[in-house]
């Protein structure tokens, strides 16, 4: 049963944004009754029908790795977390719609996870600053989810949603905004459910069906010239 068969998706974000509630909702279709602090990493499994409704439909297990902590943790905690970032097939970035800082921290989160994957020699690729080109070349599918939508007042909704749209564009990712305590946001057939399904389909596709262009899932294509001059220096 090996790790060759796994489809691994990381769920990253600041503490308190609702990652555990989200993962519980995605995997067990229920609302999490008593959310508590996540220490280390908690995993859950979602059964996903790839290409649902078509003749090529196949069932996959998608592992959702909910990594706890904050971007400002001590470097010893960061080094320990790094062990979870190996061979990742997709990343879900979670932020709190009521807390601007959690959205800004998503850049640092994605860098932390992507750097671990892109630098097998252990050398840090950037000094931690946001580099748009890195995301343009990134092969790992990203999804941005905003939580606590119910706590945003009607009048502020437009402003918040515009800001989030920019954020999702930066990551070249889809975005979903919901409330983890209300399953109707992910009801079958809603646009959110469709986006989610599409994301997981993309993850499975990249993992199993596009093996020819990547040796190990997650490395960028070497034939690219644009952007990422950093990264090409590290491969040989």
Q: 3-state DSSP call for residue 55?
A: coil
Residue from 66, 96, 174, 179 in contact with other proteins (CB under 8 A): 96
Residue from 54, 75, 191, 215 in contact with other proteins (CB under 8 A): 75
From the number of C-beta atoms within 10 Å of its C-beta (0-12, 13-18, 19+), residue 162 rates as exposed
Contacts to other proteins from residues 99-158, by CB under 8 A: 99-102, 105
Distance of alpha carbon 83 from the chain centroid: 16
Task: Kindly tell me which of 83 and 229 has the beta carbon lying closer to other proteins.
Answer: 83
Instruction: Find the DSSP H helices in the chain.
Output: 19-28, 75-81, 100-118, 132-137, 154-171, 191-204, 229-233
> From residue 3, how far is each of 7, 8, 48, 83, 88 by CA, in Å?
9, 10, 18, 15, 11
The reply on whether position 40 binds other proteins by CB under 8 A is yes
Only segment of 63-71, 116-124, 153-161, 208-216 that touches other proteins (CB under 8 A) = 63-71
The reply on whether position 44 binds other proteins by CB under 8 A is yes
Task: Kindly tell me which of 102 and 139 has the beta carbon lying closer to other proteins.
Answer: 102
Interacting residues with other proteins (CB under 8 A): 1, 3, 6, 14-17, 27-30, 37, 39-47, 61, 63, 70-72, 74-77, 79-80, 83-84, 96, 98-102, 105
């Amino acid at each position: 049963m090996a790790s060759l068969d796994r489809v691994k998706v990381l769920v990253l974000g600041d503490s308190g944004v609702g990652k555990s509630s989200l993962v519980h909702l995605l995997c067990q279709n229920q609302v999490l009754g008593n959310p508590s602090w996540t220490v280390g990493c908690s995993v859950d499994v979602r059964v996903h029908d790839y290409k649902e409704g078509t003749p090529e439909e196949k069932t996959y297990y998608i592992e959702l790795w909910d990594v706890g902590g904050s971007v400002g943790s001590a470097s010893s905690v960061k080094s320990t977390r790094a062990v979870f970032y190996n061979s990742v097939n997709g990343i879900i970035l979670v932020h709190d719609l009521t807390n601007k800082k959690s959205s800004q921290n998503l850049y640092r989160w994605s860098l932390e996870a992507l750097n671990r994957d892109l630098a097998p020699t252990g050398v840090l690729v950037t000094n931690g600053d946001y580099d748009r080109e890195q995301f343009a070349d990134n092969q790992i599918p990203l999804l941005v989810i905003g939580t606590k939508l119910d706590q945003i007042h009607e009048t502020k909704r437009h402003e918040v949603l515009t800001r989030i749209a920019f954020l999702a564009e930066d990551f070249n990712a889809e975005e979903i905004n919901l409330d983890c305590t209300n399953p109707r946001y992910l009801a079958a057939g809603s646009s959110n459910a469709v986006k989610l399904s599409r994301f997981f389909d993309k993850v499975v596709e990249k993992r199993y069906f596009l093996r020819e262009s990547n040796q190990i899932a997650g490395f960028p294509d070497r034939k690219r010239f644009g952007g990422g001059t950093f990264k090409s220096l590290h491969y040989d």
